[in-house]
Amino acid sequence: MAATALIRQVVIDFICLAIVWLPVLLLHLLGKAFQRGFYCDDASIRYPFKESTVTNVVLYCYSLGLPILSMIIIEIFRWRNNSNNSKRLTRQNSASTINVSSAIRIPSVIAELVHLVAIFLFGAACSQLATDFGKYTIGRLRPHFIAVCQPENFAQLCPLDGPPTYITDYKCTGDDEKLLRESRLSFPSGHSSFSAYTMLFLAFYLQRRMNWSGSKLLRPTIQICVLMLSWYTGLSRVSDYKHHWSDVLSGFLIGAIAASLTALYVSRLFQPSIRRDMALVPQSREDVEMQQNHLQASAGK
């Protein structure tokens, strides 16, 4: 790919990413959740406050690091394998004449990586935008809301022998503004949606690109490990009293839908192409011959 074409693609992709990520940033900085009341007898919001088992730093490290690192490693292996096949084909067809452009060209692996990472981040932004929009619109109280809010005159608002009253006129006395703000953002779970999107997208990517003949179980083993990592993240949000189980379930659904739509309809992963379907290591002599025939036909165009 020519350098100018790649630069133009990167600029356009960056603008599109900024358009989708900007609302997410604005909601995070300026968003105010719907001010929901609570029932005095609602035991689901009276759990103690606990620190997160899977912190935001850990979540972003594995959710972004594992997919991007996997793409870099696998695409480099595929590029080297395809380059070796192209060199063999060139030697076998040295009598052929191929016009080479004098323009500066960038290795195809760089262009492919730029495309994959941009698509991956675009889908992540869509998943996060849907999640945050739900959080600020619904304003559901987290399981540890009472412990963080510490409503003023709570004993008078909710007497032990009183009826199950819905309280809307109350004042929080908690002194941590960040925790108070976060205590109203329970539905849906951001950890669950983000981890589900990134790990499922990685599983889709491995299914399409990691075709190594050395083992039949290596790929599904990696896939189940990354999916279990997302599953554990969601479970920890319930056991840490950060979310209700329905928040986690909704987050998983948002992430799974975003990953499926991004992989199937936005990316080129599942579009039919012999070149993109080339194995990480050719599986047989017939595979090599098929790849060489495809390269020869492409060179003759």
| Residues annotated as catalytic (active site), given as ranges | 191, 243
Strand, coil or helix: what is 76? helix
The candidate with the shortest Cα–Cα distance to 175, out of 164, 165, 183, 167, is 183
270, 119 in Cβ contact below 8 A?
no
Compute and round to an integer the Cα radius of gyration of the chain.
25
Work out the burial of residue 284: count CB atoms within 10 Å of its CB; fewer than 13 is exposed, 13-18 middle, 19 or more buried.
exposed
164, 126 in Cβ contact below 8 A?
no
Measured at the CA of 207, the angle between CA 205 and CA 209, to 5 degrees, comes to 65
Nearest-angstrom CA–CA distance, 179 and 25: 18
Q: Is the peptide bond before 143 cis (omega within 30 degrees of 0)?
A: no
Nearest-angstrom CA–CA distance, 281 and 72: 16
Calculate the alpha carbon distances from 154 to 46, 113, 160, 203 in Å: 12, 56, 11, 48
148, 179 in Cβ contact below 8 A?
yes
Nearest-angstrom CA–CA distance, 100 and 296: 15
Beta bridge partners of 167: 38
